[in-house]
Amino acid sequence: MRYVDSIFAGLLKPIDRRQFQTIVDRHDGDAYDKSFKSWDHLVVLVFAQLNHATGLRGLETSFNANAHHHYHLGIARPLARTTFSDANARRPVGVFAETFAMLSKMAGRQLRCEGEEMIRLIDASPIPLGKMCRWAKWNGRIRGMKMHVVYDPRADRPRRVDITPANVNDVEIGRLVEIEAGSTYVFDKGYYHYGWWAQIHAAGAQFVTRPKTNSRFRVSKHRYVRKSIGDGFRIIDDCEVVLASKGDSRLPMPLRRIRVKRDKGGTITLITNDMQRKAVEIAALYKERWQIELLFRWIKQHLDIRKFLGNNDNAIRLQILAAMIAYLLLRIAAQVNCVKIPILRFLELICQYLFTRRSIAEIEKPPPVNPSKRMTKVSPDQMRFCYD
């Protein structure tokens, strides 16, 4: 009989074990936990995301209940919660961070569409940790950490993830992003920095953002607005502007200021160095920034980055990265296996059939009928003897 992988094993297939081991060796990831290797750790943390484990005891019980599947996952020993907890505290975060980057590149090859514009959304989402983590930084609103993401909305994949204390300014991480020529970067006021704008422009890319209320720009030219009505908004005006400063401060690039009136809201002002697109297209790009907010909401609602399996900084970083890795694995599996159902429905089926031996491509089909239960073949015309 042909061997069939479990759903979970099929989900983990995109992770190249040789490349993963190269990453582990580079970071010396197995130096302190030789009996619980980095691969075991990754598998358990991804399982915890899909199984919605909220505690070490529950994770240990549910994972070891399927011990007969561990061999095919590449795991030799049952999970011990003390060993797992020690690994959470000591394993280098770089192992999981580079694994995420490797999967993100793979997802880019699988999910990209030829001819699509290169749009990059940049934003950060707070991760509250509460009073249990006294070491966490306070930023005036929450005590916890931040997850900074560069997101490709056309391929629905996060390209880069950085995890920082909550008091780190968004633009400090934004300035570390490698700029791709020809891309358009869309971000909010948290990434307001003239030096970074100039860096994006010098790299041959565009940006769309909102200025702060105290920013001063002087109109140098009014542009004709051919089309003013967009999806849920209306263009008020479109101008070329320069930075108004008392000193000799100047921005070495052309700028446009576009004012937009939303149908169900107020007026917003956009600043961009894109001199080619129509004003309505630029306003639509900024409206598309909402997609990264939907990504944050989806991950927080359907994966586990609210309740953590450890109270130390290292364990929390590993769990957040494991959630992002799980998200990429789901996206890759859906694309490779031509699964057309919504991603939330796909996640629900994955969680239900995690250790079922069947193809991911057939996950939405009903299970086959057991062939061992044969029906008795009796002709309706066959006479039967009756004994009184």
- How far apart are alpha carbons 47 and 38 in whole angstroms? 14
Which pLDDT value is given to residue 381? 59
Report, as an integer, the average pLDDT of 104-117.
69
Which pLDDT value is given to residue 111? 57
In a domain, 199, yes or no: no
Report, as an integer, the average pLDDT of 113-123.
79
Q: Is the pLDDT reported for residue 291 higher than 70?
A: yes
Structural domain of 32: 7-95+311-362
In a domain, 235, yes or no: no
Which comes out higher in pLDDT, residue 252 or 178? 178
Domain count, the chain: 1
Residue 245 pLDDT level (bands cut at 50, 70, 90)? low
Which pLDDT value is given to residue 114? 52
Q: Is the pLDDT reported for residue 146 higher than 90?
A: yes
Which pLDDT value is given to residue 113? 57
Report, as an integer, the average pLDDT of 37-46.
94
- How far apart are alpha carbons 124 and 139 in whole angstroms? 14
Strand partners, 218: 242
In a domain, 205, yes or no: no
Which pLDDT value is given to residue 237? 92
**Amino acid sitting at position 163:** I
In a domain, 140, yes or no: no
Residue 1 pLDDT level (bands cut at 50, 70, 90)? very low
In a domain, 231, yes or no: no
In a domain, 323, yes or no: yes
In a domain, 72, yes or no: yes
SS (H, E, C) the chain: CCCCCEHHHHHHCCCCHHHHHHHHHHHCCCCCCCCCCHHHHHHHHHHHHHHCCCCHHHHHHHHHCCHHHHHHHCCCCCCCHHHHHHHHHHCCHHHHHHHHHHHHHHHHHHHCCCCCCCEEEEEEEEEECHHHCCCCEECCCCEEEEEEEEEECCCCEEEEEEEEECCCCHHHHHCCCCCCCCCEEECCHHHCCHHHHHHHHHCCCEEEECCCCCCCEEEEEECCCCCCECCCEEEEEEEEEEECCCCCCCCCCCEEEEEEEECCCCEEEEEECCCCCCHHHHHHHHHCCHHHHHHHHHHHHHCCCCCCCCCCHHHHHHHHHHHHHHHHHHHHHHHHCCCCCCHHHHHHHHHHCCCCECCHHHCCCCCCCCCCCCCCCCCCCCCCCCCC
At 67-96, the pLDDT tens digits run 888 888 888 889 999 999 999 999 999 999
- How far apart are alpha carbons 178 and 183 in whole angstroms? 11
**Amino acid sitting at position 274:** D
Tokens matching residue 116? 């699509």
Tokens matching residue 231? 């999806």
Q: Is the pLDDT reported for residue 386 higher than 60?
A: no
In a domain, 53, yes or no: yes
Residue 294 pLDDT level (bands cut at 50, 70, 90)? very high
